[in-house]
Structure 1
Amino acid sequence: MATMQLLLIICLAAICNGFTSVKLHRRPPDTVASVAERWFLQKLDHFNGADTRVWHQRYFVNDTFVQPGGPVFLMIGGEGEANPAWMQYGSWLTYAQKLGAFCLMLEHRFYGKSHPTLDMKLENLRFLSSRQALADLAHFQTVLNQDLGLSGRKWVVFGGSYPGSLAAWYRMKYPHLAYVAVASSAPVNAVVNFPEYLEVVQASLASLARNRSTCPKTMKVAFDSLIQLLAYKENYEKLTEHFRLCAMLEINSIMDNNFFLETIAEFIMDIVQYNNDNREFEGVKGGNVTIEVICDIMAKESLGAPYDRFVAVVQTILEATKQTCISAEYKKFIMDMKDYSWEGTASQGGRQWLYQTCAEFGFFQSTDSLSQPFSGFPLSYYVQQCKDIFGPGFSLSSITDAVQQTNEYYGGLHIQSSRIIFPNGLIDPWHALGINSNISYDVVAIQMQDAAHCADMYPERPEEPLAVPVARRSIFTLLTKWLQS
């Protein structure tokens, strides 16, 4: 959902786990709502009838709006802890209130408190896959239909980012269970190498900055200067101070070098992906730092050379997000990711999501393109991470085969289904792997100009791009129409 930020693709805390790649979010959002958690007895392996092992999966309920004959809304969890704030806020609850829906949220296996196995050893992670997650949804729905008397109601599934893909795939693979899917910012096309992510970052910096094309150009000059400084050990102390590293910078290998560069670049990548969003309700800090803010800093010649302005940008983001320092040590990252205990640093989602990218999706946001402002983290860097953490079996060829199998199973961009809505913000780099034009009259793409990752899912606010409330109205219109058919 890549590196330490992988620990953080923990976007909407499992709802719009918008992996800035394989990363999700720089720091996990705080859980801010108090909603009673419930537990469902789930199967460990849905594809082996001889395996009778079970475990307890966490879910949440909001029955505030339910009306006789109304639909069931199911919010799908993703690559992070399910945040119960989503049971009190979000556009899906606005739809639920108007349509009389019974609302549920199911946490994804291996994330949050939903632990199917005693630990996350590699032999246990084989039970972590999108296919098992979809089967979890099906079994959950089947049992709740029986136990709660919901079988006469139409089920609508929601999700953002990876959960958005799951929503679309659930409608495709289990059409007898899911009646409608709203798949927000869903990257349904798996790719090993995803340099287009940074190409969209560059285009978004240019399109929203007040100084337009100057911003990404100045950013590139600054990053090239950083690379030049990194080449000489006598600069390490200065770089440690400038970027407020948690430990003195040490570069002993190409992976050390590339990890540092990617870690710093991700600050800009995150700003673009989540630009001007409305995540405050779930405990995310720093939303006031936008593309316009960082590009204004990059344009201030009074701050010095482009490199000095870039340092000011990173420090501004650190202060806004309340981060005291940056962890940029590759050895520590690998050590954290190899910890398979549920108490480990990476247990909030980092180890699990990195495994899914290495074993299913790829999504590696490399610098293997000239049309973007960064350098230093090519595809080979991400492949080496997979090897260093999960073993030599995770080679480029094995990852390529896994990604091909994913697209063969789900269809990639060639969606064959009905009653699916694909909202995408065009500032969001993930829209490059999503559905951006209508496939049929009832497989519908909704594009949101100037909007970021999962923008349609958040509560309304006056500052949001004009396309976002228009998208929400379109979603509600389609939901109303389809649920009446």
Structure 2
Amino acid sequence: MAFTRSSAGPAGPTGPTGPTGPTVGGWLALALLLVSAGQTCSFSLGSDRSPGPTYRTYYFTQKVDHFGFYEDSVFKQRYLISDTHWKKPGGPILFYTGNEGDITLFCNNTGFMWDVAEELQAMLVFAEHRYYGDSMPFGDLSFSDPKYLNYLTSEQALADFAVLIRFLKESIKGAEDSAVIAIGGSYGGMLAAWFRMKYPHVVDGALASSAPIWQFEDLVPCNTYYQIVTNDFKKSGPGCSESVLNSWAAINRVAETSDGLQWLSNAFHLCAPLKNKDDVGAFKGWLIETWVSLAMVDYPYPANFLEPLPAWPIEVVCKFLKNPKSEERELLENIFQAVNVYYNYTGNAPCLNTSQTASGSLGDLGWSYQACTEMVMPFCSDGVSDMFEPRTWDLQAYSDDCYKQWGVRPRASWITSVYGGKNISSYSNIIFSNGGLDPWSAGGVKESISDSLVAIVIPEGAHHLDLRSNSAYDPRSVLQARALEVQYMKKWIEQHRARNGV
């Protein structure tokens, strides 16, 4: 994500509420349907189809504030629709709950929805999250001052989705009796689950893939996240995780002198040379995020979700990290070769930019702000059970970072207060899928809670692998997971039809 963010934790996974908003009529009648036809999802990742099916782009006029009455301004929320396989009247709607990025990115990386659209005879809707992509509540001013960011919350985003679905059902002929299933990955998966929890009358079920809804407060140990990353490296090559672990002390020693800083800058082909202790801290943070991102996208085929990468990229990286006991400068040269796989697999980068975060441009500034308000996820490492420098979770330091950056302080217990934490047994019709390789599974639901709160674990799966297109290289476990997900969605659709006499 190309933004400045607090150094207190990793970038967003890549990602609470009241009434359903105003009734149709009045301001809702001002909805804009600005159509741009002929756009496509390319499905360049894990699929043989390119270009993919076409979609239409629309903009819907949303309230900036769904929960107050003084702020009466509106903005245009972008959403994408494909009805190629939709059977009307009454065919279901698969609704992607957009997360921290441009909605076309998620259209391109959620091939599962396109793969099952024909079988389910479904309309596909991809809704963009406010403050991302084209959906800016205050236009160019949206990130200019914290006062304009006051409406960047998950609660407001869910209300946007609820109001948009109501509009679609009332404005699209044949959709009024359609079942709606929310689908999302990462933060979008969190939103999909919370959408079903908070608006069960709007969505009939939810598929929440790689959704770390329990990565808050003390619901899970704060070090599990980095332990999963470490295990991914440990099993991808001998000496690999140990090389990363030993690199931190090597960096610290080399960076003690100005000559050492210059050597590090040259050895890593950095665009901007390291000059001081703060630069070294940022450099190490950049490396940490690189290792984490590799774990997230350890897919069984070449992909470019975050960066262009080979199949099983950690195995490729680990080929350079076989000798953890190498002399420190040789070890760091090997670390560079490994990092270069991530940032320069195509060989086109003239230098490596440490101000470019490993997650690319997924979240811009939005996730940084959300992490400093609602999305307060504790992370820590100990350097023993993981391959990272020891670091405790320090909420006060985190809060101070956020205040310095945004002028706001986080509310660490808000998400659990609004969405229930682990007390979710009263909800229904949610699938929680998690990959065994994905660090975000640390905060995921990995055991079924009831017959309709179902956990699916994909041992060979990285970050929301099940939401990607079918591939000849997919492990059997993800094929089985997708089949089970479709089975549950069909069940929810039939339940909806029986309930509504459709």
Q: TM-score range by the shorter chain?
A: 0.7 to 0.9
Bigger proportion of residues as helix:
1
Aligned equivalents of 1:76, 1:375: Cα separation in 2 = 35
Q: Which amino acid aligns with 2:368?
A: L
Q: 2:211 aligns with which of 169, 179, 186?
A: 186
Residue aligning to 1:70: 91
Residue aligning to 2:321: 298
1:226–1:282: structure 2 CA closer, same or farther, 3 Å change rule? closer
Residue aligning to 2:124: 103
Aligned equivalents of 1:382, 1:31: Cα separation in 2 = 38
1:478–1:161: structure 2 CA closer, same or farther, 3 Å change rule? same
Q: Does residue 1:372 correspond to 2:379, yes or no?
A: no
Q: Aligned residue pairs: how many?
A: 443
Offset of residue 132 of structure 1: 0.3
Name which of structure 1's ranges 153-162 and 114-123 shifts more when overlaid on structure 2: 114-123
SS in structure 1 at match of 2:208 = strand
Aligned pairs (5 A) from 1:270-419: 270-276=293-299, 280=303, 284-288=307-311, 290-299=313-322, 305-320=330-345, 322-328=348-354, 349-363=363-377, 365-367=379-381, 370-375=384-389, 379-380=393-394, 382-391=398-407, 393-394=408-409, 399=410, 402-415=411-424, 416-419=426-429
Q: Is this contact kept in 2: 1:167–1:183, CA < 8 A?
A: yes
Aligned equivalents of 1:60, 1:279: Cα separation in 2 = 27
Q: Which amino acid aligns with 1:247?
A: A
1:278–1:389: structure 2 CA closer, same or farther, 3 Å change rule? farther
Q: Does residue 1:80 correspond to 2:101, yes or no?
A: yes
Q: Which amino acid aligns with 1:387?
A: Y
SS in structure 2 at match of 1:191 = coil
Residue aligning to 2:439: 429
Q: Does residue 1:232 correspond to 2:257, yes or no?
A: yes
Name which of structure 1's ranges 305-314 and 69-78 shifts more when overlaid on structure 2: 305-314
1:147–1:281: structure 2 CA closer, same or farther, 3 Å change rule? farther
SS in structure 1 at match of 2:457 = strand
Residue aligning to 1:11: none
Task: Give the TM-score taking structure 1 as reference length.
Answer: 0.83
Aligned pairs (5 A) from 1:67-146: 67-68=87-88, 69-83=90-104, 86=107, 90-118=111-139, 119=141, 120=143, 121-146=145-170
Q: Which amino acid aligns with 1:298?
A: L
Residue aligning to 2:22: none
Q: Is this contact kept in 2: 1:190–1:412, CA < 8 A?
A: no
SS in structure 1 at match of 2:308 = coil
Residue aligning to 1:338: none
Gaps of 5+ in 1: 8-18, 334-345
Aligned equivalents of 1:81, 1:67: Cα separation in 2 = 28
Q: Which amino acid aligns with 1:100?
A: Q
Residue aligning to 2:59: 39
Aligned equivalents of 1:189, 1:369: Cα separation in 2 = 23
Q: Is this contact kept in 1: 2:309–2:341, CA < 8 A?
A: no
Q: Is this contact kept in 2: 1:62–1:104, CA < 8 A?
A: yes
1:85–1:252: structure 2 CA closer, same or farther, 3 Å change rule? closer
Gaps of 5+ in 2: 16-39, 43-50, 496-502
Aligned equivalents of 2:476, 2:13: Cα separation in 1 = 28
Q: Does residue 1:204 correspond to 2:232, yes or no?
A: yes
1:166–1:324: structure 2 CA closer, same or farther, 3 Å change rule? farther
Residue aligning to 1:340: none
Q: Does residue 1:265 correspond to 2:285, yes or no?
A: no
Residue aligning to 2:486: 476
Bigger Rg, which one: 2
Aligned equivalents of 1:162, 1:106: Cα separation in 2 = 14
Aligned equivalents of 1:282, 1:215: Cα separation in 2 = 24
Offset of residue 58 of structure 1: 0.4
- Percent identity of the aligned residues? 28
Q: Is this contact kept in 2: 1:368–1:379, CA < 8 A?
A: no
Name which of structure 1's ranges 430-439 and 195-204 shifts more when overlaid on structure 2: 195-204
1:245–1:210: structure 2 CA closer, same or farther, 3 Å change rule? closer
CA RMSD of aligned residues (A): 3.0
Q: Is this contact kept in 1: 2:13–2:440, CA < 8 A?
A: no
Aligned equivalents of 1:408, 1:190: Cα separation in 2 = 14
Residue aligning to 1:16: none
Q: Is this contact kept in 2: 1:258–1:377, CA < 8 A?
A: no
Aligned pairs (5 A) from 1:157-176: 157-176=182-201
1:22–1:482: structure 2 CA closer, same or farther, 3 Å change rule? closer
Q: Which amino acid aligns with 1:449?
A: P
1:85–1:123: structure 2 CA closer, same or farther, 3 Å change rule? closer
Render the CA deviation track for 1:403-428: whole Å, top value 9, x for unaligned.
21111110123323111011100110
Q: Is this contact kept in 2: 1:201–1:429, CA < 8 A?
A: yes
